[in-house]
Amino acid sequence: MASYPMRIRARAKDGVADIKVLIEHPMETGLRKDANGKLVPIHFIQNVVATCNGKTVLNAQWSQAISKNPFLGFKVKGGKPGDKVNVSWVDNEGMKGSIDATVEKA
């Protein structure tokens, strides 16, 4: 089972935390063909959940319509430096990924 790297940045300014996450994932639609003309199997992230200090702040259901290596950006009202952020995902093959960050001052 492959592991897909993630990168995260979390910064707060004026009571709002700005979270940015890059997930390296193939996000295959199931419609693309390989060099031999065979369909590449469908493989995509289905669910993304973000928490701030243990409280869910984002729960997204994705499909194969999301591009390869998706970038996710969102803001959390009330976020401040020192808050703990976690972003995790699960794909249609049961693979999982997760990353933690501490919100920094912008």
Q: How far apart are CA 23 and CA 69, in angstroms?
A: 5
| Distances, alpha carbon 51 to alpha carbons 60, 62, 89, in Å | 12, 17, 12
pTM equals 0.93
Q: What pLDDT, on the 0 to 100 scale, is given for residue 6?
A: 98
| Residue whose tokens read 């996450």 | 21
Give me the tens of pLDDT residue by residue for the chain, a chain 106 residues long: 567 999 999 999 999 999 999 999 999 999 999 999 999 999 999 999 999 999 999 999 999 999 999 999 999 999 999 999 999 999 999 999 999 999 999 8
Q: What pLDDT, on the 0 to 100 scale, is given for residue 3?
A: 78
